[in-house]
Structure 1
Amino acid sequence: MADSHDPVAAMKTTILPVDTGRITHIKATPSDDLLDDLEIHLNDTEDAQHIRYAASQLKTSNIPVAFPTETVYGLGADATRSSAVQGIYKAKQRPADNPLIVHFASLKQLRDVLRPNAVQTNGHGNDDPLPTIYHPLIQRFWPGPLTIILPNPSKSVLAPEVTAGLSTFGARIPANVLALALIKFADVPVAAPSANASTKPSPTAAEHVKFDLDGRIETIVDGGLCEVGVESTVVDGLSSPPMILRPGGVSLEQLRTSPGWENVRIGYKNSAEEKPKAPGMKYRHYSPKAKVVLYESEANAPSWEDIKEYGKVGMISTRCWRVDHSNASALVTKKHYDNANGQTAPEIHEETTKGFARLIANTLHATPVSRKGIMLHRLTRPGGSGIELFDLALGPDTAGIARGVFAALRELDRVDVDVILVEGIDEAEGSTAAAVMNRLRKAAEVNVPG
């Protein structure tokens, strides 16, 4: 919550719901590129009015606007105005040396930024300012959860606060109709980090944004839950060989099947660059109030010894952990979830809030305490003292884990646990698993190796 002595604390934060199915007709302008430009038409519904209002704020206000993308909710401002971009740092209380990703509605809009003094024509001709190395990725992954590092022109229209002193900037075209409509009608490139307080878990629902930034911004556009749940993959094709600076929705394997990217390398492990090229490379991120202890996928399950100093314990289980009431020496055992018939439980279905739900397990003495799928276990330690264990099971599906992990951290914070134990997954499974583990390692105070 904002400090009562801070002038931004007096703001009233309003959530504007938008159902994009009721408002837009979208048509891509014919071109060699999939999304060279867009035509978006709004009708006269209240949902459309909300988009027009939020777009007007993006274009003219110095107070940022929160809106959904397919990855997480973003906190957007006109990337060409310093006063607007400074509003992002102020609302998030974010260090100013952490660069921002700029979001575009079309390739034409991006080319206009890369070629600020050129006369624009339909199509890009032979003087395309987009480096050739990125063409295969743009054709395959845009719009979508991929950010590319581009050279910032010498007479750039971007505010200097966007790049944090770098000669490059990150750009992406999101695959979310509402986000595209906002950027299109604002008619400005939009700088937009995640819409959370700095260092806190990224928001995947409008209520998460409200919890962090209530009183610090005026408008949250509510487009429902985010589909991916972790931020975009960030790649640098200007280096040789090309590098992945942050894992996300596009995998290493997918990148390596694209021409020119066969030898792409990982550049984010143990990174603490003085001038990071991408968000999330330097500072600790994604952390709730409670202490987070991450157990790598091959680590032993938590024991009583691990929680002896705590009274309220949160647990995020994924593949194997299960509270064991029958074992006096173990707190959690590494088993697959079983149903009441002793059979392997089915994977989570889409109707269970995009994977943010628990598997139905044959768990004794458990009481549901939250609509978010938390199960409360009242357990007795060896020696007689008791604890409360709040178990939030995300289930075995990797995509479901990605969609739910930030929300899980937030929900356990809301029941005021002292510590959160997290069952990690094998990052070698693919990009989504690597992205999840990358975020969890940045959230954790303690990492238990396998």
Structure 2
Amino acid sequence: METIVWKVDNIVEKLKNNPQIKQAADLLAQNEVVAFPTETVYGLGGNAGNDKAVEKIFSAKGRPSDNPLIIHIAGRKQMDSFIETVPAVAIRLMDAFWPGPLTLILQKKEQALSEKATAGLSTVGVRMPDHPVALALLKECGLPIAAPSANSSGKPSPTSAVHVAADLNGKIAGIVDGGPTGVGVESTVLDCTSPIPVILRPGGITREQLEEVIGRVEVDPALAGADAKPKAPGMKYRHYAPEAPLYLVAGGVGDMKRLADIYRGEGKRVGILATEESAPLYEADLVLACGKRERLDTVAASLYDTLRQFNEGQLDLILSEMFPEEGVGHAIMNRLRKAAGNKIIEG
């Protein structure tokens, strides 16, 4: 399959009646799959109401089909066709954070969406992305679009069209290149079907921000490793991993240096994931800085790109610093634990 790449300007005025956006939307309407940018990562979109389109998403990604997909919309009115009820708490959250990196789990209408998109669940995750290209494409096609991250399953999520092409070129109909994304980690997924909303996946909107709007919010025990059927993407399988094994190091700079020296003394090629503040302090075969520790949003924005860069170092293993689990730090550590398969070395 030839994968078409449309490079578009993400200025709203230039996206109106854009022939490239229309071509991409037409392919979605024909139940093909197309990658497009959002404010978090690039998504791999397909018609959420069509089994064949959803199957193409899973096939391109090599993703297990028991993982539900998030439905992307351009306006709230679109939910009328597939959502049973929208609770008051969800409306308050939409008012505060949509468009934006927040996915809400709601009760779906029966037979309104492909069962393959929702993994047979009675609920579905919905979000309205805060990216002009995504919104233009969603408005043009007029369909609810199922869209997981546009990468091969298990690899770091894509934050640029180059990342998408590296994984999926020849496997999908097209890529809408709207430049690099901003937030860098996926949306927060919040279950609004329980009396107290529950975070199923930490992401671009923090628990603290949510609680400012709606009060108490709980965190799903599955995030700590409990065995449960996933209601949200990224809950069940290893994700975000570079090619070399990744280990999280619980300790300071001295511990990281000691471990790196031990492994290198064994003849192993070692990579270190650090921050701009600490990277100059390390000696290894490849040391990459991933944002500033004092600005965790910069770490989130560059995390996946940094993990992909390690693949160029022909490494035997990667050691990663850990980050404070506050604010967006919850999302960063969630992704790093997934990438490491929960392997933590005590310094």
Runs of 5+ in structure 2 lacking a partner?
none
Question: For each residue in 1:335-379, what CA deviation from the matched residue of structure 2 results, as whole angstroms up to 9, or x when unmatched?
Answer: xxxxxxxxxxxxxxxxxxxxxxxxxxxxxxxxxxxxxxxxxx6xx
The aligned runs of 1:106-125 (5 Å cut-off) are 106-114=75-83
Q: Which residue of 2 aligns with 1:20?
A: 10
- Please say which of residues 88-97 and 389-398 is displaced more in the overlay: 389-398
Q: Which residue of 1 aligns with 2:232?
A: 278
Q: Which residue of 2 aligns with 1:57?
A: 27
Q: Which residue of 2 aligns with 1:181?
A: 136
> Distance between the aligned counterparts of 2:239 and 2:265, measured in 1?
27
Q: Which residue of 2 aligns with 1:433?
A: 329
The structure that has the greater radius of gyration is: 1
Q: Is the 8 A contact 2:279 2:289 kept in 1?
A: no
Q: Is the 8 A contact 1:321 1:423 kept in 2?
A: no
Residue 24 of structure 1: how far off its partner (Å): 4.2
Question: For each residue in 1:104-127, what CA deviation from the matched residue of structure 2 results, as whole angstroms up to 9, or x when unmatched?
Answer: 000011123226xxxxxxxxxxxx
From 103, 113, 138, the equivalent of 1:147 is 103
> Distance between the aligned counterparts of 1:296 and 1:319, measured in 2?
18
Runs of 5+ in structure 1 lacking a partner?
1-10, 26-40, 43-47, 116-128, 325-331, 333-376, 378-387
From 106, 120, 123, the equivalent of 1:168 is 123
Q: Give the letter for the 2:266 counterpart.
A: E
SS at match of 1:287: coil
Q: Give the letter for the 1:399 counterpart.
A: D
Residue 23 of structure 1: how far off its partner (Å): 4.6
Q: Give the letter for the 1:295 counterpart.
A: V
| TM-score (structure 2 length as normaliser) | 0.93
> Distance between the aligned counterparts of 1:74 and 1:297, measured in 2?
35
Residue 323 of structure 1: how far off its partner (Å): 5.1
Q: Which residue of 2 aligns with 1:295?
A: 249
Question: Number of residue pairs matched?
Answer: 340
Q: Which residue of 2 aligns with 1:422?
A: 320
The aligned runs of 1:219-368 (5 Å cut-off) are 219-259=174-214, 262-267=215-220, 268-296=222-250, 300-303=255-258, 304-318=261-275, 320-322=277-279, 324=281, 332=282
Q: Is the 8 A contact 2:81 2:112 kept in 1?
A: no
Q: Is the 8 A contact 1:166 1:275 kept in 2?
A: no
| TM-score (structure 1 length as normaliser) | 0.72
RMSD: 1.9
> Distance between the aligned counterparts of 1:395 and 1:173, measured in 2?
27
Q: Which residue of 2 aligns with 1:32?
A: none
Question: For each residue in 1:196-215, what CA deviation from the matched residue of structure 2 results, as whole angstroms up to 9, or x when unmatched?
Answer: 00011000000001111122
Q: Give the letter for the 2:312 counterpart.
A: R
Q: Is the 8 A contact 2:263 2:270 kept in 1?
A: no
Label 1:211 to 1:168 Cα distance change in 2 as closer, same or farther (>3 A). Answer: same
> Distance between the aligned counterparts of 1:196 and 1:310, measured in 2?
32
Q: Which residue of 2 aligns with 1:92?
A: 61
Label 1:297 to 1:182 Cα distance change in 2 as closer, same or farther (>3 A). Answer: farther
Percent identity, please: 44
Structure with the bigger percentage of helix: 2
The aligned runs of 1:398-413 (5 Å cut-off) are 398-413=296-311
Question: For each residue in 1:288-307, what CA deviation from the matched residue of structure 2 results, as whole angstroms up to 9, or x when unmatched?
Answer: 11111112465832421244
Q: Give the letter for the 1:407 counterpart.
A: D
